Amino acid sequence: MTVDTSVSETGSSAGVKRRDFLKVLGVSGAATAAVGCSSGDVEKLIPYLVSPDQTVPGVSNYYATTCRECAAGCGLIVEVRDGRAIKAEGNPEHPVNRGALCARGQSSLQGLYNPDRYRQPMKREGDALVATTWDDALQILSAKLGEVKSRGQGSRVAFVNQHEQGSFPAFLDGVLAGFGIAPHLSYDAEAPVAVLQANQAAYGAAWPAIDFSAASLIVSFGADFLDGWGLPVPQQLAFAEARGKVEGAPRFIYVGARRSLTGLNADQWIPAKPGSELAIVNAIAGKGSAAAAAEAAGVGVALIDGLVAEVRKARASALLAGGFGQDAGELATAVAELNKARGNVGKTIKPADGYLAFEGVAGHVEMRALAERMNAGEVPMLLVRHANPAYTTAPGVGFAAAMAKVPFKVSFSSVPDETTSLCDLILPDHHGLESWGDAEPVKGRLSLQQPTMDPVFDSRQTADVLLAVAKADPSLASKYGFADYRGYIASRIGGNQNLKNALPTALVSGAAASRTAPARTASRATAKEQSGEYTLLTYLSPTLGDGRGANKPWLQELPDPVTKILWQTVVEMHPETAKRIGVADGELVTVTTAAGSLTAPALVYIGLRPDTLAVALGRGHTAAGRYAEAGENAWQLLDAAEDRAGGAALGATKATLVKADGKKQRIVTTEGSGRQHGRGIAQAIALPALLAGEEGHGHHVFEGQASTEFLPGLRSPTANDAQGEFGVPNSKDKGQYDPEHWSGAAKRRWAMTIDLAKCTGCSACVTACYAENNIPTVGASWQGPVLLPDRTGFGANVTRGREMAWIRLERYWEIDREPKDVVFDPEHPDFDTNFIPMMCQHCGNAPCEPVCPVYATYHAPNGLNVQVYNRCVGTRYCSNNCPYKVRYYNWFGYGDPTRSQYAFPEPLHWQLNPDVTVRQKGIMEKCTFCVQRIKEAEHRVSLEGREMQPDEFTTACAQACPSRAIVFGDAADENWSVAKWAKDRRAYHVFEELNTYTAVVYLKKVNHPAPTASATA
């Protein structure tokens, strides 16, 4: 029935390097015991051949390394158990992410264990790519490079690399130079190149640090610093820190046609037409009239006046310019000037401690130029690594078609994608977690990258491949004194010993090898004559980025923080727009631009101008693996227009919108009702009200009801729980529920506080929970019933709301009507949004407990509401009775490898956490407060013979949270910070009138209304 997380004899296919795996597997007795498989096979115990030093079977090792999922270069601590990387967490000492980690960083593991990874080198024979050996592949590569060199065509060969910081780019250019090849193009479709260029010019730093705490006002002109613009994690840390101050926290105004996640976190929204931001900035700078700006922006002049006044009044403001309009460069420059004029530079905008993430990044224009050269047949050889220009460029560029004109194409990508599938030779690179490397995220600090485990497949690190090729060439061999790339890294920081010493934190002072990006050759492309009554915003998906995350089920199943859409591409439009063309949610519409057209279900979104449409990029791949096929490819709509710096203008395409012959698709969303119906779930309070000591709205007080004041620990209502005094009022023996019980079990009260003033709704906690708790993803089309699946093509699971996320991010609109009936008022376009993470509340008086007929769910003395999987028979009564609806049911055998619904196709199951049961078909599961971590901590302290220290450990969600909004601990012990937070003046329980005595305490969100009037009320 259930799957055995330890790979048994039959568990892994030929693809996996069996012996290496055995070598590291060791005894996984604990793992097997944890997840048992009731198959009748004789179980084998596979010992080490040679036990690796400082490894104890069944005990995790932790390796510090650097995240390569985006350009930021955050620090990772990777948990490795019995030779398998099982969890990625932020490195607390790292200057960039300070221990936090975003959803994309979390899911680097699913890149490592991606079932569609290339398992060995491939070469093209006819139309097909066939497996080959490394010797063969390297020979082919050397031969081709030699050819190029001898013919002197080197200068025309192109190497496109996924942009990354550190020494590798320089190293790469060095090797290429040896063959007379020009420096490579470091391409990143996510980089806001216009802003980088403008910042460089204005501040002398491409990406200055933004100190939100120092600001009294934040104004973002489409700068989505919380969803993928720049370096999400450090920006979110700073922003949440600032907003968490409550008093003296900055007010935040968002100017832009679409409210992104960043926009939803703003206190005020000014829905300016795309392209009108510049006019508004000028108005603020006094270079233009507010009236004109309002005219251009299509909003009430009062809004602009207010904005201008506020900025001028602000003590210190942080003004940020977003980077994806055709005039992004001009806008960024204007905003930078404004910042200087307001004296913000050095106060809130800190060029001194800026980030180097985007040094030498190439933009859309370079890809277009390259495509033109390829079309002209000037490129004898193309090499790509991880970059996917065939997918992430506008169709006008015609990159894929141009590649056909290149005689020989090599890819070093380790996962299939549109570009690699067109190549003739594939030399799969190690995944970042298998590789050596370094990054210099901030000046003078090197963040090292080390392998966390033996390679999963027969791949090789590109640097080493290049080294081998170079050494094969006698004329170059002499230049490379070191054995491998590790040696190179070591030599850069002064030898092996230094490297060894640095590895525990993977941090060392030093600088990455400097490089020179190739000079821009082509000039920007300006928009063709466009028609269309709508402006189309194709935005980078906060979860999938430019599309590189699309083959990771965790990210596909992670609802978009704004639209809450998963596995699907929708066309977002304002309710008015939907009414105009007569469509409702889910009805198919066709968006047509000069570049192409796309048909997808409509979704009404109130945070969008009626004259604007929005479609998320990143889905609808054709050759990027089994999960990536979901949805539609919005890049196909993109006009080849570019901004001043040659970045793709994602937000400047004109489009027409028509209803597509009345077909309908179920909207794949986790949202039931987007409104609270006055039930006070996610509560907010305006700062003045808070200071005046008023209660926020939605606080329920009922005459004659038991006090619902949160009293932690033994004085808490846990004593009243189903097994305690309420259960057997006059029992002599309360057993372990007795405060005086020798075990002291009842002396603890595990609890959690969540500060909604900090929570931005980014959903990193959700993916962290998936990673920690072996939560299956259920959305793939093949994961539904085998006979007669739903017509939706979504496998009947996500369309029926059966996703398993133990923690979910609820996003509530504070509006007085259904979203579909919202009308756009240019004078008062604003509305509030409240996010709230909802997971099992571990009620002291839990409704789910008394109804379970078999005690599968019961109350532990330490306050945990425990779900015993193997006792559960699946009556689902507990879920019915749970007011918070946080219990999730295994409708299919997601953990059973023999089933089509299996959620962890090999080798994804290598990631499974051996400490957590893989749940079987037909049972209920839910948030456990990471009980396995509690147990681990208890084991640790008992081994070390000491008491548990306050805040000694925390849950996966709290660990990952880039807002630091979640605090977990023992509320019965004053020394744990959770105990202090639980008594905060903003603390409240959800549905406290139900007397559930929850162990999760929420702290009200704080709104910062405009100083003058109630602009945000």
- Judged by CB under 8 A, the chain residues 827 through 846 that form the site for other proteins are 838
- Number of residues forming the site for other proteins (CB under 8 A): 114
CB of 319 to other proteins, least distance (A): 35
Q: How far is the CB of 784 from other proteins (least distance, A)?
A: 7
**By rule CB under 8 A, what string of x and - marks binding of each residue 406-435 to other proteins?**
------------------------------
1's tokens: 């029935």
Q: Does 714 bind other proteins (CB under 8 A)?
A: no
* Cα–Cα distance measured from residue 552 to residue 482, given in angstroms and rounded to the nearest whole number: 36
- Considering only residues 579, 876, 980, 983, which one is a binding residue for other proteins as defined by CB under 8 A? 876
- Asked if 577 and 557 count as a contact pair (C-beta separation under 8 A), the reply is no
Q: Which residues contact 486 (CB under 8 A, 6 or more apart)?
A: 436, 499
Contact between 487 and other proteins per CB under 8 A = no
262-281 residues in contact with other proteins (CB under 8 A) are none
Q: Which is nearer to other proteins, 1 or 130 (CB)?
A: 1
Q: Which of 215, 264, 764, 923 binds other proteins (CB under 8 A)?
A: 923
Question: In terms of DSSP H, where are the helices of 829-954?
Answer: 848-851, 877-881, 931-943
Say how far apart CA 103 and CA 52 lie, in whole Å.
32
Out of 407, 939, 949, 952, the only residue in the binding site for other proteins (CB under 8 A) is 939
- In whole angstroms, the minimum distance from the beta carbon of 327 to other proteins comes to 39
Question: Is residue 972 within the footprint of other proteins (CB under 8 A)?
Answer: no
Q: Which of residues 791-820 bind other proteins (CB under 8 A)?
A: 796-797, 800-802, 808, 810, 812
Residue 604 pairs with which residues in a beta bridge? Answer: 573
Query: Per CB under 8 A, does 932 bind other proteins?
Result: yes
Closest CA to 185 of 399, 444, 328, 353: 399
**Residue 304: Cβ within 10 Å count:** 26
Q: Which range of residues in 177-185, 270-278, 504-512, 668-676 is near other proteins by CB under 8 A?
A: 668-676
Of 227-235, 621-629, 919-927, 1000-1008: span binding other proteins (CB under 8 A): 919-927
Task: Output the smallest distance, CB 910 to other proteins, in A.
Answer: 17
SS3 1016: coil
DSSP E strand boundaries for 234-289? 251-255, 268-270
Nearest C-alpha neighbor of 845 from the set 739, 967, 706: 706
442 near 356, Cβ under 8 Å? Answer: yes
For residues 919 and 913, give the distance between their C-alpha atoms in angstroms, rounded to a whole number.
12
CB 264 within 8 A of CB 252: no
Q: Which is nearer to other proteins, 481 or 678 (CB)?
A: 678
Radius of gyration in angstroms for the set of CA atoms belonging to the chain, rounded to a whole number: 28
Q: Please tell me the total number of residues recorded for the chain in this structure.
A: 1017
701 is a site residue for other proteins (CB under 8 A): no
Q: Is 4:32 a contact under the CB 8 Å cutoff? A: yes
Q: Does an H or E element contain 15, and which?
A: none
* Minimum separation from the CB atom of position 773 to other proteins (A): 10
Window 19-58: residues binding other proteins (CB under 8 A): 19, 22-23, 26-30, 32-38, 40, 42-51, 56-58
Q: Which contacts (CB < 8 Å, 24+ apart) does range 785-788 have?
A: 786/900
The answer to whether residue 892 forms part of the interface with other proteins (CB under 8 A) is yes
Tell me: does residue 888 bind other proteins (CB under 8 A): yes
Per-residue binding letters, 941-970, with other proteins (x by CB under 8 A): -xx---------------------------
For residue 350, the cross-strand partners are: 209
Decide if 341 contacts 310 (C-beta within 8 A). Answer: no
The token pair at 545 is 């980025």
Q: Is 916 in the site for other proteins (CB under 8 A)?
A: yes
Per the CB < 8 A criterion, the answer to whether 449 and 77 are in contact is no
Residue 453 half-sphere exposure, CB side, CA atoms within 13 Å? 32
Partners of 901 in beta bridges: none
Does 889 bind other proteins (CB under 8 A)? Our answer is: yes
The answer to the question of residue 860 lying near other proteins (CB under 8 A) is yes
21 vs 539 by CB, closer to other proteins: 21
Of 624 and 684, nearer to other proteins (C-beta) is 684
Binding to other proteins in span 717-746, by CB under 8 A: 722, 727, 736, 742-743, 745
Q: Packing angle between helix 277-285 and helix 328-341, nearest 10 degrees? A: 20
Smallest gap, in angstroms, from Cβ of residue 75 to other proteins? 27
Task: Give me the sign of the Cα torsion angle 326, 329, 332, 333.
Answer: negative
Under the binding rule (CB under 8 A), the answer on residue 890 touching other proteins is yes
Shortest distance in whole angstroms from residue 814 CB to other proteins: 13
- CA 631 vs. chain centroid, Å, equals 18
Query: Least distance to other proteins from the beta carbon of 700, Å?
Result: 9
| Element (DSSP H or E) covering residue 435 | none
Residue carrying structure tokens 């030498």: 360
- Give the containing element (helix H, strand E) for 770: helix 764-773
Among 191, 206, 261, 866, binds other proteins (CB under 8 A): 866
Min dist CB 682 to other proteins, Å, is: 9
Give the interface segment with other proteins, choosing from 248-256, 438-446, 526-534, 939-947 (CB under 8 A). 939-947
Q: Is 851 in the site for other proteins (CB under 8 A)?
A: yes
Kindly state whether residue 855 participates in binding other proteins, applying the rule CB under 8 A.
Answer: yes
Give CA–CA dist 90/97, Å, rounded: 7
C-beta of residue 803 within 8 angstroms of C-beta of residue 670 = yes
The bridge status of strand 987-988 relative to strand 1000-1003 is antiparallel
Q: Applying CB under 8 A, which of residues 236, 262, 901, 1007 lies at the interface with other proteins?
A: 901
Indicate whether 879 belongs to the interface with other proteins (CB under 8 A).
Answer: yes
Cis ω before 907 (30° cut-off from 0)? yes
Q: Is 576 or 938 the residue whose CB approaches other proteins more closely? A: 938
- Binding region for other proteins (CB under 8 A) out of 86-94, 117-125, 320-328, 911-919: 911-919
Q: Which stretch binds other proteins (CB under 8 A): 340-348, 363-371, 490-498, 909-917?
A: 909-917
Q: Contacting other proteins (CB under 8 A), which of 285, 881, 905, 987?
A: 881
Residue 937 in contact with other proteins, rule: CB under 8 A: no
Tell me the C-alpha distance between 153 and 173, whole Å: 16
At closest approach, how far in Å is the CB of 995 from other proteins? 10
By CB under 8 A, is residue 885 in contact with other proteins? Answer: yes
Using the rule CB under 8 A, which residue among 135, 787, 816, 947 binds other proteins? 787
From candidates 893, 907, 962, 969, binder to other proteins by CB under 8 A: 893
Candidates 113-121, 241-249, 351-359, 932-940: pick the segment binding other proteins (CB under 8 A).
932-940
Interface residue with other proteins among 7, 872, 1001, 1015 (CB under 8 A) is 872
| Residue 104 or 919 with smaller CB distance to other proteins | 919
Does residue 90 sit in helix, strand or coil? Answer: strand
Nearer to other proteins, 372 or 993 (CB): 993
Identified binder of other proteins from the candidate list 871, 950, 984, 987, rule CB under 8 A: 871
Q: Tell me how far, at minimum, the Cβ of 756 lies from other proteins, in Å.
A: 15
What is the phi/psi pair of residue 432, to 5°? -55, -30
d(CA 890, CA 806): 12
Residue 791 burial (10 A CB sphere; 0-12, 13-18, 19+): exposed
Q: Which is nearer to other proteins, 673 or 1012 (CB)?
A: 673
